[in-house]
């Protein structure tokens, strides 16, 4: 009887110890940029849009794929990395109003020199070159990284990100936008994938946007709100986010002022997957 009780007690203590050890495990969450290294970023965006105009509902399905190259040119004494980002290939497939359209851009010359902090924040961006696909590149926001806390984080701990982004109207993006972004990240634990062990970071957030623009002689005003849920995988050896998957649900309203005034309600469901190789 006593022997059985002792064995049960040992098992229970081992379970508690292993759970406590796992909960206290931590990892340094920052990017390990190294001068002279290169990596590829593959992005897939699947977007379903439904909008109502003059009593008619219009659905648009779009799939966008892009491959970008990153060349870490140098590191500053503060740890900031100067990276030359080049857009290599983009493909677009859309289905709308009974039309099925595909476009392919290869061997593009679009490039930008970006300075990142060790946390992945963009310190500065300078356009190096652009191509006929510049309007698509502007919408994809290539070059953005998941911003990390830049410190040791224990499994189970969370951190917040609150920021306001202002975007100017550009080719392919007729709206000048202001976006209030609130994100919460949690180091959820570890995950094995393809024989490798990663740290999993879950995320949830909201985006409130408003903006204005003009097109074809009409003034347009936009308001919207979105909820974003997703996760990322951090490679502790490379010190790099190597996979991110986000689902976004957005509701927007576009007020159009011109020869004919109208309001266009719109909903969007967007899945974004980013792989780093």
**Per the structure block, which two tokens stand in for 103?**
């476009």
Strand partners, 74: 82
Residues whose CB is less than 8 angstroms from the CB of residue 98 and which lie 6 or more positions away in sequence, other chains included = none
Is the pTM for the entire model greater than 0.85? no
Is 232 within 8 Å of 244 (Cβ atoms)?
A: yes
> In this predicted structure, what is the pLDDT of residue 19?
42
What's the Cα-to-Cα distance from 127 to each of 38, 83, 85, rounded to whole Å? 19, 12, 10
Per-residue pLDDT of the chain (277 residues; tens, 9 = 90+): 444 444 444 444 444 444 444 456 889 999 999 999 999 999 999 999 998 876 778 899 999 999 999 999 999 999 999 999 998 889 999 998 888 999 888 888 888 899 999 999 999 989 888 776 666 666 666 678 999 999 999 999 999 999 888 877 665 566 788 889 999 999 999 999 989 999 999 999 999 988 888 777 778 888 999 999 999 999 999 999 999 999 999 998 888 887 778 888 889 999 999 999 9
> In this predicted structure, what is the pLDDT of residue 98?
82
Burial of 157 (0-12, 13-18, 19+ CB in 10 A): middle
> In this predicted structure, what is the pLDDT of residue 21?
43
Q: 56 — phi, psi (to 5°)? A: -115, 140
> In this predicted structure, what is the pLDDT of residue 166?
81
Three-state DSSP class for residue 119 = coil
> In this predicted structure, what is the pLDDT of residue 56?
79
- In this structure, are strands 151-154 and 262-276 parallel, antiparallel, or unpaired? unpaired
- In this structure, are strands 81-96 and 99-106 parallel, antiparallel, or unpaired? antiparallel
> In this predicted structure, what is the pLDDT of residue 133?
65
> In this predicted structure, what is the pLDDT of residue 71?
96
> In this predicted structure, what is the pLDDT of residue 16?
41
> What are the structural domains, with CATH classification, of the chain?
29-276 (2.30.230)
Q: Where are the alpha helices (DSSP H) in the chain?
A: 2-24, 134-140
């Amino acid at each position: 009887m006593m022997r059985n009780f002792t064995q049960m007690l040992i098992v229970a203590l081992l379970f508690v110890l292993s759970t406590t050890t796992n909960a206290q495990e931590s990892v340094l969450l920052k990017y390990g940029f190294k001068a002279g290294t290169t990596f590829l970023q593959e992005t897939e965006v699947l977007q379903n849009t439904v909008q109502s105009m003059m009593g008619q509902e219009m659905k648009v399905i779009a799939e966008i794929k892009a491959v970008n190259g990153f060349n870490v040119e140098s590191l500053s004494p503060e740890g900031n990395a100067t990276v030359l980002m080049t857009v290599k290939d983009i493909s677009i497939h859309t289905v709308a109003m009974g039309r099925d359209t595909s476009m392919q851009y290869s061997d593009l010359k679009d490039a930008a020199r970006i300075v990142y902090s060790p946390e992945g924040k963009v310190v500065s961006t300078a356009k190096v070159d652009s191509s006929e696909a510049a309007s698509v590149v502007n919408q994809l926001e290539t070059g953005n990284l998941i911003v990390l806390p830049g410190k040791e984080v224990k499994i189970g701990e969370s951190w917040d990100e609150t920021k306001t982004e202002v975007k100017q109207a550009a080719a392919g993006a007729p709206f000048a936008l202001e976006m209030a972004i609130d994100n919460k990240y949690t180091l959820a634990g570890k995950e094995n994938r393809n024989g490798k062990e990663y740290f999993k970071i879950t995320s949830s957030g909201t985006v409130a946007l408003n903006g204005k623009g003009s097109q074809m002689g009409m003034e347009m005003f936009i308001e919207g709100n979105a909820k974003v849920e997703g996760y990322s995988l951090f490679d502790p050896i490379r010190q790099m986010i190597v996979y991110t998957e986000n689902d976004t649900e957005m509701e927007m309203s576009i007020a159009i002022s011109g020869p004919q005034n109208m309001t266009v309600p719109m909903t969007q469901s967007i899945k974004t997957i980013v792989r780093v190789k």
